[in-house]
Structure 1
Amino acid sequence: MLSKPSKMSPIPFSTFMQQSLYGQNGYYTNPRRVGKSGDFYTSVSASKFFGGAIASYILHLVDKGHLNLPLHIVEIGANNGYLLGDVALFLDALSTHLLCECEFATIEPLPSLREVQKTYFSTLRFSTNISFNAFESLPLPQNPSDIFILSNELFDSFPCDVIHDDTILYITQDSTHWQGLWQELNTSSLPPQSATLLNVLKNNAYTLKQAILPHWIPFIEQLTYTAKMYRQSYFLTFDYGAKHLINPLSYNPRFYHSHSVVNLQEVLEQNINFYSLYQNADITYDIDTSLLNTLFSDYGFELVFEDYQAKVLIEQMGILSLLESFQRAQGFSAYLNEIHKVKTLLHTMGGRFIGLCYKSCNSAR
């Protein structure tokens, strides 16, 4: 944990972000931070049909033989576990046999959130007993099986370094006033994960057009290695971003608190105290999907689709057909209540978020 002494050596922004979000008493150790009553809300908070659409897509993959039973369905970064719960509940409603051949799990490094997720799943009621576990990391398969892994707003929560005009951002820790400090970008100032990423980009002839160096590589390396131990593996994720993204400091990174946002440039120019943001604000940034695609490709996964959330939910996952089925089963009044929530997914968030799906190269088409 970062201490708060009278004076310490400056630390990279990535270290500040890591400890602010995930250290002892870090921002994400409190699941109440996320949601409509928290500092920000996600697609999971907007409508249960977000999880329902993912369930419909899983059924489509099984029906087409792209995934086979038994099947592990795993969410990474599940917070309360609501999204995986919605997926499981919709699978139960949409299929008469699939649920009994599925095992559900969350991957969560924070022990407090693992307990929250276990407690939430214990409150859900299904037509059959289901297997649910909360793991610290993705387990190897015990028997031949397939796996479908999902996440929502995951990659924007990884620590990152910030570079600008051949300098890298550090944070001073003088007493209780922490400030940004630009240092010359060189071997000694660049954290190892960012140095590794720069080498990967160079080897892939990838032109760096952003000021963000996300610490994704160890996670993607471990995820893809374990996922390929399964017979077939798919990975679905939603996040905000774009291809070949340019991340100006006037937009990335950003700090969210109580549904208000301040960007890094404002923090630096207004001399806002980083100490006041430490463990009190979410820290996030837009992701460069072309960079994510490069890294997954390097580790043996191929892109199935990439598109705006609205198009993914409509064209890939059939959310509108799902709503029509819901109307026939539950009536127009219930449908009308849900359609307003789904509009948030499709209109408010639909053009801002990107859905990406990958599969291991040994998976069937």
Structure 2
Amino acid sequence: MNSKKKTFKQYMQEWLYSNDGYYSNYKEIGKEGDFYTSVSTSSFFGGAIAKEIVDEIQNGNLKEDTSIVEIGAHHGYLLADIIQFIYTLKPELLKRLNFAIVERFEHLQKVQKQYLKESFGNEINFIHYNDIKELKLDSAFIVANEIFDAFACELILEKDKVLYQGFIENEKIVFKKCENKKLLEHCKKYKLTKGEVCLDYEEFISVICKNIDNFHFLTFDYGDKFYRNDFSARIYKDHKVFPIFDKEMDLCINYKNSDITYDVCFNYLTNIFKEKNINNIKFNTQMNTLVDFGIIDLLEILKTNTNEPTYLKELQKVKLLIEPTGMGDRFKTLYVKK
């Protein structure tokens, strides 16, 4: 690969999204894949989201014919879990609601469509969108699990009050004086001197705000409220984590055959929504969000309707989702209502 004069963002974009990139082909998630997600840990992750949707409809905050949209659905497991729990909690809603997935890759659309067809037959109203720009809806509940950390990012580093930008040359990361005005302005605004920046969040959120009249937008991701002023970019391969600046880590060997990601700054996301005059925004940990949504109530329902071994098995899975020392605190959430 000729990587001369490529910004790190361009390199990461090709790594993940080119025709032969990491996300262009179906990848297993979980024990057989490179990493775990909350979706692969427990179906009660989707169940808690489903309960929130049902509660918001019953409270009059969402329409009964709203569209439940997942962005970046991979196999379709999360949307399927949401649908299954809606059916369990309020079956009459299933035919009134609309369900959709935004997916750019055609072969992944086929996988998702087949899985949902096998799971629900013709019992749901389902549609695919190729791009978020196609989303033009009156009402929607949008779920984006680990989306923002999959946006290609820039690397920045300040030395002696001069900001440098990351480039790839001969498969190595090098830093050159930043000449990107928007990047300079962003780093100045957030007092960022070291780390990752993705300015593409702004267009993504702008499209959603412009095209959907009323929405609930829920995202889960690695990260924290504020920039850490440190590098977090890392590679996941066979459940092992490799910081990109690890001396033993070879970019060339991992290129396109492993996942590459970084921590998300939720304060930046919050400010983008606020600039669109949307202020009903709640930042939280995954633990608090899932508990607020009623994941414990769902476990109690399970307890009264199944045997003890099944209940205990699911309880252990849910504990993984909400443990403060694990996924419960490491993942953060942003819940936005327009």
> Which residue of 2 is the match for residue 133 of structure 1?
127
Task: Give the TM-score normalised by the residue count of structure 2.
Answer: 0.92
Would the aligned equivalents of 1:71 and 1:102 in 2 still touch at CA under 8 Å? Answer: yes
Confirm whether residue 53 of structure 1 aligns to residue 48 of structure 2: yes
**C-alpha spacing 1:199/1:129, structure 2 compared with 1 (3 Å):** same
Structure 1 position 208, deviation (Å)? 2.8
Would the aligned equivalents of 2:223 and 2:263 in 1 still touch at CA under 8 Å? Answer: yes
> Which residue of 1 is the match for residue 308 of structure 2?
332
**C-alpha spacing 1:71/1:274, structure 2 compared with 1 (3 Å):** same
Would the aligned equivalents of 1:148 and 1:233 in 2 still touch at CA under 8 Å? Answer: yes
Q: Alpha-carbon deviations, 1:175-234, whole Å to 9, x = none?
A: xxx111211112xxx3xxxx44554676xx543354211131221121221123xxx211
Confirm whether residue 246 of structure 1 aligns to residue 228 of structure 2: yes
Task: Give the TM-score normalised by the residue count of structure 1.
Answer: 0.85
Aligned match for 1:161, one of 143, 151, 154: 154
Query: For the aligned residues, what is the CA RMSD?
Result: 1.9
Confirm whether residue 148 of structure 1 aligns to residue 141 of structure 2: yes
Any gaps of 5 or more consecutive residues in structure 2? none
- Tell me which amino acid in the other structure corresponds to 1:129: E
> Which residue of 2 is the match for residue 261 of structure 1?
241
Q: Alpha-carbon deviations, 1:229-252, whole Å to 9, x = none?
A: xxx211001011111121413xx1
Structure 1 position 33, deviation (Å)? 4.1
Would the aligned equivalents of 1:254 and 1:262 in 2 still touch at CA under 8 Å? Answer: yes
Structure 1 position 113, deviation (Å)? 1.4
Would the aligned equivalents of 1:224 and 1:300 in 2 still touch at CA under 8 Å? Answer: no
Q: How many residues align?
A: 330
> Which residue of 2 is the match for residue 36 of structure 1?
31
**C-alpha spacing 1:274/1:256, structure 2 compared with 1 (3 Å):** same
Would the aligned equivalents of 2:71 and 2:144 in 1 still touch at CA under 8 Å? Answer: yes
Aligned match for 2:295, one of 304, 308, 319: 319
Confirm whether residue 225 of structure 1 aligns to residue 210 of structure 2: yes
Distance 2:126 2:193 in 1: 42
Q: How does 1:1-365 map to 2 (within 5 A)?
A: 4-5=1-2, 9-125=4-120, 129-138=123-132, 139-141=134-136, 145-165=138-158, 166-173=163-170, 178-186=171-179, 190=180, 195-196=181-182, 198-199=184-185, 205-208=189-192, 210-214=194-198, 215-228=200-213, 232-249=214-231, 252-266=232-246, 269-270=247-248, 272-314=249-291, 316-347=292-323, 348-360=326-338
- Tell me which amino acid in the other structure corresponds to 1:235: F
Runs of 4+ with >3 A deviation: 138-142, 195-202
Distance 1:141 1:157 in 2: 24
The farther-off stretch of 293-302 and 133-142 is: 133-142
Structure 1 position 34, deviation (Å)? 2.5
Structure 1 position 129, deviation (Å)? 1.6
Q: Alpha-carbon deviations, 1:50-69, whole Å to 9, x = none?
A: 00000000011111111112
- Tell me which amino acid in the other structure corresponds to 1:253: A
- Tell me which amino acid in the other structure corresponds to 1:65: G
Structure 1 position 303, deviation (Å)? 3.7
